[in-house]
Amino acid sequence: MSRRASPALTDAELRIMRALWELERATVNEIIERMERQGNAPPAYNSVLTILGILERKRYVTHEKDGRAFLFAPTVDHSVARKSALAHVLSKFFDNSPGLLILDLFGQEGLARDELRGVRELLDQAGKYHPKPARRRRR
């Protein structure tokens, strides 16, 4: 029985997508060359082609024929993929609670002062756009 396709990107798929996001449109050979320049040990040509086929079924990429070669292009923006991956992690591990994720992050990793300042600014901005409803007092 075959494994069910995951909507999330595997590590190998993500490496290929990173190369493709940088290139915008590329052949398999161009993707392999970019992966080498990124410091990744690229998979074999046929493996990259197979993974691109999987990415196409997942609707992350599309292709068109250009002479004898195929040109692949991302159909999903990097920021959209990042949000999708985060939503997947939130639902799988944090009961769809961004608060639990943040608490876990802060509990695991110490933040540098400039990172903490940036997080505070983001939280302040989020509060302006999404004000929390007032709590009702219990009597």
Which of 18-22, 37-41, 68-72 has the weakest average pLDDT?
Answer: 37-41
What residue numbers bound the domain in which 104 lies? 96-132
**Does one domain contain both 76 and 36?**
yes
- CATH number, domain at 33? 1.10.10.10
Q: Is the pLDDT of residue 44 over 80?
A: yes
Instruction: Give the integer Cα–Cα distance in Å for 81 and 67.
Output: 30
**Residue 36 banded pLDDT, cuts 50, 70, 90:** very high
**Does one domain contain both 81 and 121?**
no
Task: Please give the average per-residue pLDDT across 98-104, as a whole number.
Answer: 80
Structural domain total, the chain: 2
**Does one domain contain both 124 and 71?**
no
Q: Which long-range contacts (CB under 8 A, 24 or more apart) does 61-67 make?
A: 61/17, 61/20, 66/27
- Whether the pTM exceeds 0.85: the reply is no
Phi and psi at residue 23, to the nearest 5°? -80, -25
> Residue 114 falls within a domain, yes or no?
yes
> Residue 122 falls within a domain, yes or no?
yes
pLDDT for the residue numbered 34: 95
Q: Is the pLDDT of residue 138 over 80?
A: no
**Does one domain contain both 59 and 122?**
no
Q: Is the pLDDT of residue 54 over 80?
A: yes
